[in-house]
A and B are shown apart, each in its own frame.
Chain A
Amino acid sequence: MLNSIRLQNVVRRLSIHTVLLAGSLIMVIPLLWTLSTSLKTQQQIAIWPPEWIPNPVKWSNYIEVFGAAPVMLWIRNSLVIVAANVFGSVVTCSLVAYGFARMRFPGRDALFILLLSTLMMPYIVRLIPLYVFYSQIGWLNTFLPVTVPQLLARNPFFIFLLRQFFKGIPFELSDAARIDGCGEFGIWWRIILPLSKPALAAVAIFAFRDAWDNFLAPLIYMAGAPHLRPLAVGLYTLRGGGGQLPDTNYLMALSTLMVIPMLIMFAMGQRYFIRGVTLSGIKG
């Protein structure tokens, strides 16, 4: 009896692993290819079909790229944008989400629909008017257009996401706290946030990624200030285009490097995806 259950378990786990591994391969191949290309010389890249393991392996590309372009400067700029985005998303967006999820005020649902609807108007037709606005208030070629809106919770995606999670927390908990004399802000800080670690971790990961990879906004709003360029934009200057040869190996080296902070961020945020942390331990 026990043996067959154990066998069932093993088979189950084995099949899950197989499926997951197969999928993993598909997920990972593009990154492996990027890594492989980053270790080649320009002549080696020309070989078609491409060799997976270049011979010889040119690790110096990773060092040379720092000399070929102001990469440290780009990194610094990216960090500024990222810090604002992550802070804004985790703190400000969760405040707003709390308002929409757990408080009542007239027009709440209508305003929420309004919030969602801002996602539905394609950015293309909003681009020029917004740009002109920034131009008139002198925000162009500064960090302001890519940091202030984030700090002001201009991110319906995160607000919506957090609202869903906040709504899922039983109202009896906040009601009980209210009876105990806790204010709304206190409920947000002491009850809702701690219970939402997975959601907040997810938001932090996404916010980091959005800021890290955001290309269009920094490109356009800081076009006149190359010293403010973040990595995502700087990366594209290695692309060449218009009859110019791209520095493909440097491009790939930089792309690989760019993935690393994301992985770190993900690893950090992932720790909060632990089961059962949420409601157990809070009774009555």
Chain B
Amino acid sequence: MTAQSAGMGRAAAARPQPRVRAKDLLGFVFIAPWLISFLAFDLMPILSGFYHSFTNWNALGIAEFIGWANYEEALTRDPLFWVSVNRTLYFIAGSVPLGIFAAFTLALLLNANIRGTGFYRTVYYLPSVVPTVAAVIVWIFIFETRRGILNFGLELLGLPTIRWLSDPNWAMPALIIMSLWTIGAAMIIFLAGLQGIPQELYEAAEVDGANGPQRLFGITVPLMTPTIFFNLIMGLVAAFQAFNNAFIMTAGGPRNATLLYMLHLYNNAFRYFRMGYASALAVMLFIVVFGITILVYRSSDRWVYYS
């Protein structure tokens, strides 16, 4: 145990108890900007979403109350509802764990003492910064069956080529691969988190005879748990609402292989003028994401370590 951590323990015991009233007001003052923006810009639209899920609103005019009809339709009669749920879960299971793992590994690599970290960091963040319109065109080219780079690489390795965007079995893996391309943002967050780990801890551990993996799992990972927690929750929230690439590149196909939940929602809202039904879909998504987030949040007491 280092002097640092011993000091932390003592300070925790000696922490002065704040006076309740003054601190309360002050706390609200600090979060006031967000509170105002929430009340002004978020509260009403969110409540509107909940309310309209019980109507047949077409987004522009009349909204008749129809009770649970939208929910019933989604869960029992909409042939595409469960398809989109299935596709979205597939996407999440593929992209979130892979993404976090890859971003974390990258951050570790780029935190190491090798030359060119600045260059590499920029290059790995670059994809997040290329405008979507250009990126999509290029990705279609990359996935091309005949001349695409991916298949070219597969051939070099002696593997059979894959019809990425026209084969219903491979379209979703293609989307998952595309999502890995933009892990630069998560990587930066992990990088920032790694900066917060004091060098002394590593030095002390080395003195104590700890090797690489021991330092990694004994110091780095535990101290990175707040960041991992963040990337996990944000990753899940984003993946549940993934939309752009499926919308622009595959339009949900082929054969609904990439019909993500948000895409189905979008179609109902803006193509079919069924904003009421779309609201019901949105509410159900909200409930699921909220539930999962609460679960992760609760579990965080057990594995997230704030110093």
- Are A and B subunits of one complex? yes
Cβ B46 vs Cβ A126 within 8 A: yes
Q: Closest approach, in angstroms, between the C-beta of B154 and any C-beta of chain A?
A: 14
**Chain B contact residues: over half helix, strand or loop, or mixed?**
helix
Beta-carbon contacts under 8 Å, A259-281 to B: 259, 262-263, 266-267, 270, 272-280
Chain A 9-28 near chain B by CB (<8 Å), digits 1 or 0: 00001001101100110111
Are A31 and B18 in contact (CB-based, < 8 A)? no
**Which residues from B are CB-within-8-Å of A255?**
130-131, 133-134
A138: min CB distance to chain B, Å? 14
Residue A33 lies at the interface, judged by CB distance under 8 Å to chain B: yes
CB-CB contacts below 8 Å: A25-44 with B? 26-31, 33-34
- Asked if B87 is at the interface (CB within 8 A of a chain A CB), the reply is no
Chain B residue nearest to A246 in the complex (CB): B133
A/B pair count, beta carbons within 8 Å = 284
Question: Which segment of A65-73, A78-86, A106-114 sits at the interface?
Answer: A106-114
Residue of A nearest to B195 (CB): A198
Select which of B34, B130, B278 is within 8 A of A153 by beta carbon: B34
| Contact across chains for B23 and A161 when beta carbons are under 8 A apart | no
B123 and A126 contacting across the interface, CB-CB below 8 Å: no
Interface residues of B in 177-229 (CB under 8 A from A): 181, 184-185, 188-189, 191-196, 198-200, 223, 226-227, 229
Query: Are the C-beta atoms of B23 and A168 separated by less than 8 Å?
Result: no
B206 to chain A, nearest CB (A): 14
Chain B residues touching A, range: 35 or more
A104-B27 in contact (CB<8A) = yes
Name the one of B15, B34, B121, B269 contacting A152, with C-beta atoms under 8 angstroms.
B34
Contact flags B36-67 to A (C-beta < 8 A → 1, else 0): 11101110111011001000000110000000
Question: In the assembly, what is the distance between CA of A118 and CA of B123, in Å?
Answer: 32
User: Would you call B175 an interface residue if the criterion is a C-beta within 8 Å of the partner chain's C-beta atoms?
Assistant: no
Whether the Cβ atoms of B49 and A198 lie closer than 8 Å is no
The answer on a CB contact under 8 Å between B30 and A98 is yes
Stretch of A53-61, A169-177, A222-230 lying at the B interface: A169-177
Do A154 and B189 touch across chains, with their CB atoms under 8 A apart?
Answer: no
Query: Can you report 29 residue pairs joining A to B where beta carbons are below 8 Å apart?
Result: A16-B114, A17-B116, A20-B120, A27-B184, A29-B138, A50-B141, A108-B27, A111-B31, A118-B38, A121-B46, A121-B286, A122-B285, A125-B49, A126-B42, A128-B59, A129-B49, A152-B37, A165-B193, A168-B223, A175-B14, A201-B192, A215-B132, A251-B134, A255-B134, A263-B126, A270-B121, A273-B121, A278-B198, A280-B198
User: What are the nearest 8 A-B pairs in CB distance?
Assistant: A99-B30, A105-B27, A172-B11, A126-B45, A152-B37, A198-B192, A125-B49, A30-B138
